[in-house]
Amino acid sequence: MQMCKQMECGTHGRIWHTNEKNNIAFSFFIKLDCNINKLEGVTLKIAQILIDIINTKYKINLLIKKPNDIVYANKKIGGILTQTKVISGKVQNLIVGIGINTNKTKFPKDIKTIATSIKKQFNIDIDNQYIITEFCNQFEKYLLKII
């Protein structure tokens, strides 16, 4: 397991730059006992829930860049990482990490051409707590339907 300090780890050893005051960055662990097929497409579903919440609250149309990015104007606004532990075809646990550039306006030189935030693109302040709470409520309902 790779450890990261002051920055979060992304896929393929990339660094995810974050800022706890301006962005959304959280992970959660769910203990499960379900067939692995039931979680097929879960990363895309998480992305869809997030962009639907943002669209409903702020009338902003973000897009999903498969397999796990949230983008606007060909720049990355967020990403989702999912990991499962599977034993004999049964998912024992699901770990999800979500990062969304919401209110950050300055980016490091190495990513400023490929990353952006909702604040930078639309000049509005995002209520991070609302997004996180609404996501948790909707994702819980989704999981209860499929498992």
64 C-beta neighbours (distance < 10 Å), count: 18
> Model confidence at 22, in pLDDT bands (50, 70, 90)?
confident
Residue 116, φ and ψ in degrees, nearest 5: -155, -175
The answer to whether residue 67 is domain-embedded is yes
CA–chain centroid gap for 108, Å, is: 20
- Domain of 108 in residue numbering reads as 23-146
The answer to whether residue 85 is domain-embedded is yes
Q: Is a pLDDT exceeding 70 seen at residue 59?
A: yes
The answer to whether residue 8 is domain-embedded is no
| Number of domains within the chain | 1
The answer to whether residue 50 is domain-embedded is yes
- Alpha-carbon gap, residue 4 to 7, rounded angstroms: 6
Q: What is the pLDDT of residues 125-143, one digit of tens each?
A: 999 999 999 999 999 999 9
Q: Where are the beta strands (DSSP E) in 36-107?
A: 63-65, 69-72, 75-87, 90-100
- Alpha-carbon gap, residue 34 to 84, rounded angstroms: 11
The answer to whether residue 16 is domain-embedded is no
The answer to whether residue 7 is domain-embedded is no
Q: Looking at the DSSP assignment, which residues form a beta bridge with residue 30? A: 94
Q: Is a pLDDT exceeding 80 seen at residue 90?
A: yes
The answer to whether residue 80 is domain-embedded is yes
> Model confidence at 21, in pLDDT bands (50, 70, 90)?
confident
- 12 vs 116: which has the higher pLDDT: 116
Whichever domain contains 69, its CATH number is 3.30.930.10
Q: Is a pLDDT exceeding 50 seen at residue 106?
A: yes
The answer to whether residue 69 is domain-embedded is yes
